[in-house]
Amino acid sequence: MPENSESPYSGRLAGFREAVLPASSALILTHDYPDPDSIASAFGLSELLSFWGVPAITIAFGGFVGRAENRAMIRCLGIQTIPFALVEPGDFDRIVLVDCYPGRGNITLPPGLKADAVIDHHPASPPNPLPFFCDIRSNYGAAATIITNYLTEAGCQISATLATALFNGIKTDTSGLQRNATPDDIECYKRLFYLMDHSLLAQIESPGRDMEFFRTIHKAAESAVCRGNVGYCHLGTVAAPDSIAEMAEFFHSLEKLEWMVCTAVFNSQIYFSIRSENDNSAGIRAEQLAERFGGSGGGHTKAAAGRIPIDDNIDTMLEKIVSFIENIFGVAGIAAEPLL
Ligand SMILES: [Mn+2]
């Protein structure tokens, strides 16, 4: 909790500063296949550490950025990142995790390497005593909100480029402030609106798309079924796992759907994304689904995801997964109505 009554952030910021300084190098790590909130938060943290005089800062993540908007974000804003496979994490004085938590299935951090600081907004139960600095605000819509407040509290100027990144992080993670947005998210969103470059954001939001994107929509539409208010689609094998969240979100907008679940095969695993409209148990359902099949999963109240290892025939596994989904969403016995 805040240690200083003047600002809810000053105590946390002092704790973070103590955990990361002094340092001659720092590695900022996001979750694998990062989304705009991860990318923006890492970018903001790198600016903060640089403002504090850390000379060498590297942003890295496992996997790659697949979604066209997110590739455009990195390109248009000139954000420097390195694939985790190419960094030697032991070479850094400090390791900071943002928008993710150590030990989760969606993060590449070899066991034995300890994070110095973790800033996240996913539900987590940090151990006691804490082995690292920890600022977890699981009710927050975006990690970028926490980072925006850190920058402001530290007196670090937010450039138009950084403001564009942070705004995009909050906008996408809260789906335009309609999902899990707290007053703090809304406040930062407003503040960043006046600092950002709107034409850059327009370029990010309307990127050129490759053929794969349209093939993926085709596959999603072809496979989509509704059982009551629960939609489901399977994308087959995908080239980038972030297209699963993208399709879950897109098909969730189909009228009458409370739930949308999307699965796909990537890297010898079944990845899934879950979206809900009003129900707040998306993260819990994702955990249930992942745990039932020996995978890992979780997330927020209305947007969640996970991975399941494939240890059987894929079709058999998908049948089992679909039947488990029908059960946990209470639509077993309701006939599947195909979209097309
Ligand atoms: Mn996030």
CATH of the domain at 20: 3.90.1640.10
| Locus of tokens 């990127």 | 207
Q: Looking at the structure, tell me whether residues 70 and 98 fall in a common domain.
A: yes
340 Cα: distance to centroid of ligand 1 (angstroms):
33
Please tell me the distance between residue 233's alpha carbon and the centre of ligand 1 in angstroms: 24
Cα of 22 vs centre of ligand 1, distance in Å, is 27
The stretches in the chain having pLDDT less than 50 are: 1-5
| C-alpha 140 – ligand 1 centre gap (Å) | 9
Q: Domain of 286: which CATH number?
A: 3.10.310.30
Give the distance (Å) from ligand 1 centre to CA of residue 173: 6
- Residues whose CB falls within 8 Å of the CB of residue 99, separated by 6 or more in sequence, listed in order: 30, 31, 34, 35, 37, 38, 41, 42, 119, 120, 121, 122, 143
In the reported structure, the alpha carbon of residue 328 is separated from the centroid of ligand 1 by a whole-number distance in angstroms of: 25
Distance from the alpha carbon of residue 311 to the mean position of ligand 1, in angstroms: 30
- pLDDT tens digits for range 277-308: 999 999 999 999 999 999 999 999 999 999 99
37: in domain: yes
Q: Report the alpha-carbon distance of residue 104 to residue 154 in Å, rounded.
A: 30
Domain count, the chain: 2
The reply to whether 23 and 149 lie within a common domain is: yes
Range of the domain at 282: 212-338
Q: Look at residue 2 and tell me if it is in a domain.
A: no
Distance of CA 145 from the midpoint of ligand 1 (Å): 10
d(CA 9, CA 281): 29
Is 299 within the bounds of a domain? yes
The rounded Å distance from CA 299 to ligand 1 centre is: 9
Which residue from 151, 142, 134, 148 is spatially nearest to 182, judged by alpha carbons? Answer: 142
Q: Are residues 75 and 188 in the same domain?
A: yes
What separation in Å is there between the alpha carbon of 262 and the centre of ligand 1? 19
**279, part of any domain:** yes
Expressed in angstroms and rounded, the spacing between residue 288 Cα and the centre of ligand 1 is 21
Residues 282 and 193 occupy one common structural domain: no
- The verdict on residue 133 lying in a domain is yes
Look at residue 13 and give its three-state secondary structure: helix
Residue 61 located in a structural domain: yes
Same domain, 265 and 180: no
192/142 same-domain check = yes
| Tokens (6 digits) for 307 | 């991975």
Q: What's residue 1's pLDDT? A: 41
- Span from the CA of 257 to the centroid of ligand 1 (angstroms): 24
How far away, in angstroms, is 270 Cα from ligand 1 center?
22
C-alpha 120 to ligand 1 mean position (Å): 7
Question: Residue 187, SS3?
Answer: helix
- CA–centroid distance, residue 238 to ligand 1 (Å): 22
Q: Do 177 and 250 sit in the same domain of this protein? A: no
Which residue, of 205, 225, 248, is where some domain finishes?
205
Distance 301 CA to ligand 1 centre (A): 12
- Do 14 and 155 belong together in one domain? yes
CB 143 within 8 A of CB 120: yes
Last residue of one domain, picked from the residues 205, 223, 247: 205
How far does the centroid of ligand 1 lie from the alpha carbon of residue 319, in Å? 31
Whether 172 and 233 map to the same domain: the answer is no
Among 146, 175, 205, the domain-final residue is 205
Is residue 230 within 8 Å of 329, Cβ to Cβ?
yes
Report residue 94 CA to chain centroid gap.
Answer: 22
Say if residue 21 is in the same domain as residue 164. yes
Structure confidence at residue 4 (pLDDT): 41
For position 3, what pLDDT does the model report?
43
For the chain, what percentages of helix, strand and coil (3-state, to nearest 5) are there?
Answer: 40, 20, 40
Residue 1 belongs to some domain of the structure: no
* The token pair that represents 91 in the structure block: 């070479």
C-alpha 205 to ligand 1 mean position (Å): 18
In a domain, 88, yes or no: yes
Residue 182 and residue 227 in one domain:
no
Q: How far is the CA of 127 from the centre of ligand 1 (A)?
A: 21
Cβ neighbours of residue 5 closer than 8 Å, sequence gap 6 or more? none
Q: From the CA of 143, how far away is ligand 1's center (Å)? A: 5
Residues 85 and 43 in one domain: yes
